[in-house]
Amino acid sequence: MAQAQRICILGATGSIGESTLDVIASHPEAFEVYAMSAFSQVEKLVALSIKHQPKVLVLPHAAARQQFIALWPSNQPLPEIRLGAEALVDTAIDTAVDTVVCAIVGSAGLASAFAAAQAGKRILLANKEALVASGQLFMEAVKQSGAQLLPIDSEHNAIFQCMTRPIQASQIKEIILTASGGPFRDTDLSLLDRVTPAQACKHPNWSMGRKISVDSATMLNKGLEVIEAKWLFDMPLEKIKVVVHPESIVHSMVHYVDGSILAQLGHSDMRIPISYALAYPERLTNQAPDFELSDLCQLNFRLPDLARYPCLDLAYQAMNAGQQSTIVLNAANEIAVAAFLDQRIRFTDIARLIALMLEQNWSSAVDSIDAVHALDHEVRHQATARLMQFSA
């Protein structure tokens, strides 16, 4: 019997981490949890650690370690506890680790994901910043080290599943990312100035965190996925298309030059793409509910209205302009969304602030991860200052 894959889950207490642990628990013969990290949810990490028995844990600081130890059962051996951002990197490149699940949200997960790529690990990627903020650097590291990169975002995983191997760009007419369209897909455009954070966070299909819910409402999330797809699949931007698909049953498609369109359908359950990536090129059973085609009434698709979704258009512009601009896009959006959720700016000001930041002349070169972080920090600083130009 082959040795079980030793898995490091960076961001174990989030939804991706929990779904990954659920799949692993169903297949103990194939996978072993070697390491996990958490930032603020220490109590939750204790419960997960008792269940999955990792050898290594990563926590942000000494206070979190003390909290963890105080909650840990005295009759069980304590895992090794590592602290801080450097420990995330050290654990990602640990020689005992076979596969790194990069599920830390935001720029905090960039350095460890990049380190895993440099170390030639098998990477299950859910961290958007790895490709949005450092796509060229990241993909060069993957190529040079021989790392295996497998996407676990549902849209990119769907595309990966629909692509024939080896991937030949000349055989593909376009890849098609599907989007729900968010809560305002049919709202009169004249009313968007007045929508509230509560309305923006009320997704028509599922419950998500506040920030990602707003990104879905603006479709900036789909713009980031366009950028990710460009790097993941080495496709020209003009071959990457977005369609609004309200039912969220088709997760994405690949349109081939012979007219065939291959689509991946299923429930919106992250255990499906995660189990596919964990076992690739094999397939595993998981606890996701069965999907019945007979339950389908209809599938609708339409092109996105860029007047309704200017953030999607800004994402295409940023990708055309280069890596520097995609860093600006992402950082400015995070500042704008936080301000909207705090009711300091209007919903429509999110796109306006991003556009202002993209128009600036940014002279910083982004030839290292440190440079990426520096530009990201500077953009956030200047975007925060620009908020004074707007009023809710």
Residues at the annotated binding site for NADPH? 13-16, 127, 129, 209
Distance between the two ends of the chain, CA-based, in angstroms? 62
Whether 346 contacts 390, CB under 8 Å:
yes
Please give the single-letter amino acid code of residue 60: P
Query: In the chain, how many H helices and how many E strands?
Result: 16, 11
User: Which among 317, 370, 378, 320 is positioned nearest to 137, based on CA atoms?
Assistant: 370
Ramachandran class of 53: left when φ > 0, alpha when ψ lies in -120 to 50, beta otherwise: left
Helix, strand and coil percent figures for the chain, each rounded to 5: 50, 15, 35
Binding residues, by number, are 13-16, 127-129, 153-155, 180, 203, 209, 216, 221-222, 225
> In the numeric block, which tokens belong to residue 211?
């920030």
The binding site for Mn(2+) consists of 153, 155, 225
* Annotated binding-site members for 1-deoxy-D-xylulose 5-phosphate: 128, 154-155, 180, 203, 216, 221-222, 225
SS3 state of residue 34: strand
Strands 172-179 and 250-256, sheet pairing: antiparallel
Distance CA 165, CA 210 (A): 38
Q: Does residue 357 contact residue 321 with C-beta atoms inside 8 Å?
A: no
* Residue ranges in the chain assigned as alpha helix (H): 15-26, 42-52, 62-71, 84-92, 110-118, 129-132, 135-145, 154-162, 197-200, 210-218, 220-233, 271-279, 310-321, 323-341, 349-359, 369-386
